[in-house]
Structure formats: structure tokens, C-alpha cells
Amino acid sequence: MAILKSMNSLPPSWDLYRSFLAVIREGSLSAAARALGLTQPTLARHIAALEEAVGGSLFLRSPRGLDPTDAALALKPQAEALDMAASSLWRTASGWGAEVRGTVRVTASEVVGARILPAILAGLRARHPALEIELVLSNAVDDLLQRGADVAVRMVEPEQQALLVRRVGVIALGMHAHRAYLDRHGVPQHPDDLARHSLIGFDRETPDIRAMLQRAPDVALPRFALRSDSHLAQLSAIEAGFGIGICQVPLARRNPDLRRVLADAFDMPMGMWVAMHEDLRSTPRCRAVFDGLAAGLREHVSAEQDG
């Protein structure tokens, strides 16, 4: 199916595609303009110029705002690839030289990124004031080879080739509940007691959950009273006293109101790794972040063992 009528001989500039991608993401010219720090008339000119260049309409007005056409949806993946490449290019250019400066894109799971990394990154920033961090919270196992991120913290060992991987250590997962919940419903003494409790768990399997389940293939999954794909939401529900759920033991120890239950029956150690593309090992800013995260996370893991 022909999506575009014609193409001019000279390709449009990246600015047009950046504006196009912002409109798709934000849904309107005004919101896209605010996101990019441009004026709405400028965004409108960019979209018009790109439509003229590709020879077809890219957006249709609707009560919801601007809806992308089939042509726009066909261009979106390539525009996102351009956006990723441009970000990677800028991170490389901004960090050139021996000084630790410029932007490093770090990806980690929600809980690790929101509850553990901020303190480590604050220390890195104090040591390297010219360092800038882009923190992406995701439970997906990103492919570092595509340079979607510079450094990744993962609870599943990265298997891609051409990666520099450092194993931080082993961190324990345990079942926990707020003391107020346990005061109301009692402390389970045997795994069978969990059938009478409100359990917090996952909706769909993520890579780290699959890795955990593979280590306990005979464990039957219970019926969860609260299901969420967000590990951060699960942790928040535990802290709010909704019920019993799984979280990292060192994190639970930070909250004096959380109690571990059935420690003898449920003890699930999980590995933790820091990884980056091996081509970045000689880039000062990436190496500093890689080493800093590995050291900080090792302290986090050892705090559990010392406790």
C-alpha cells in the first residue's frame, strides 16, 4: 500500500521530525510546543513543511486533538530511532575529553531506580559536578547494543555479547507486610496461612519475575488481592498496609513499620548486575557512572548481609 504520494529529493531536517514526534507523543500542537520549548506557530510550520516534503497528511483534527494518519504511524518508528540516535550523539559529544562531564543515560527497574539509585547518583553528582544523568525506570531488559541507554542495572544477568558486565552481588527478596496490617489480620505462621490474607503480586510476568519463578518451579502461585505490573506500586501497597507482598529485604529494613513474614519458608536470593556497552569503557563519564553504581549497589547489598 502506498502511504506517501511523493518525496522531495532533499530529505527534511531533523528538527521537523523532532516536532513531528513531539506532536504524536503529546497529541496537540500546543502541548508539543511546550515540551520542546517552541512556539505553537513554529510547530505548525514544522508539521506543514514535513507534510509537504513527504507529500501527504500526517495528522487529522479530532475532538481529542491531533490524530496521526497511517502515514504518520508508518514514520513513527524511524522518527523514534532518529530521536534515540540524536540523544546518543549528544551524550557522546557532550562528554568528549578526559573530564567526567556530559550526560549518561541510566536504566534500572522501578524499585531500584526510585528507591536505591537516587542516593548513589547524588554522591556521583557531588564528585562530578559536570555530570548529568538521565534516569529511565523500566522493568524491561533493554538492549544496550541499541544504545537506548549507556548503563543498565538489572536483576537478570544481561546475555548480549559486547557488554561489560559486573556482578554486584546477591540480594534477598522476602515477604513483608506493614505492622498495622499484621495487627489486624495476624502473622502467618505457615505458607498455608497465606490463603486467609490479602496478597500483593504481579499482573503479568516480567523478565525478573520469570527468573524468580524458574528458581521455584514447584511453587503454586496464589490468588492476589492486588495485582500490578509496577513493582513500585506493589511496594507502596505493602507500605500502605494493603497486605503481604514481596520486596527487597534491605529496602524493607529502611522502614521500621515493615515486618518480614515466613522468612524460613520464603527466601529468594536474586543477583544484581551493572552493564554497559564495552565500547564505552574508555568514555570517562560512562566509566565513572558504571564504577560508581557498582560500588554503591555493592554497599546496598552488603548492608543486608551485615544486618
Q: What is the pLDDT of residue 85?
A: 74
How confident is the prediction for the chain on average, in pLDDT? 83
Q: What is the pLDDT of residue 212?
A: 57
- What sections of the chain are H helices per DSSP? 14-26, 29-36, 40-54, 70-94, 110-111, 117-127, 179-185, 207-214, 231-239, 249-253, 284-306
CA distance 277 to 263: 38
Strand partners, 196: none
**Average pLDDT of span 266-270:** 84
3-state secondary structure of 268: strand
- pLDDT tens, 31-51? 888 888 888 888 888 998 888
Q: What is the pLDDT of residue 156?
A: 83
Q: What is the pLDDT of residue 147?
A: 62
- Choice between 222 and 269, residue whose per-residue pLDDT is larger: 269
- Choice between 34 and 92, residue whose per-residue pLDDT is larger: 34
DSSP class of 98:
S
- pLDDT tens, 166-207? 999 998 899 999 999 999 999 999 988 998 999 998 876 655
Banded pLDDT at 4 (limits 50, 70, 90): very low
> Looking at the predicted structure, is the pLDDT value of residue 116 above 90?
yes
- pLDDT tens, 275-289? 988 878 888 899 999
Banded pLDDT at 132 (limits 50, 70, 90): very high
> Looking at the predicted structure, is the pLDDT value of residue 138 above 60?
yes
Cα–Cα nearest to 141, from 128, 155, 127: 155
Residue 214: burial class (beta carbons within 10 Å; 0-12, 13-18, 19+): exposed
> Looking at the predicted structure, is the pLDDT value of residue 66 above 60?
yes
Q: What is the pLDDT of residue 65?
A: 79
CA distance 271 to 166: 11
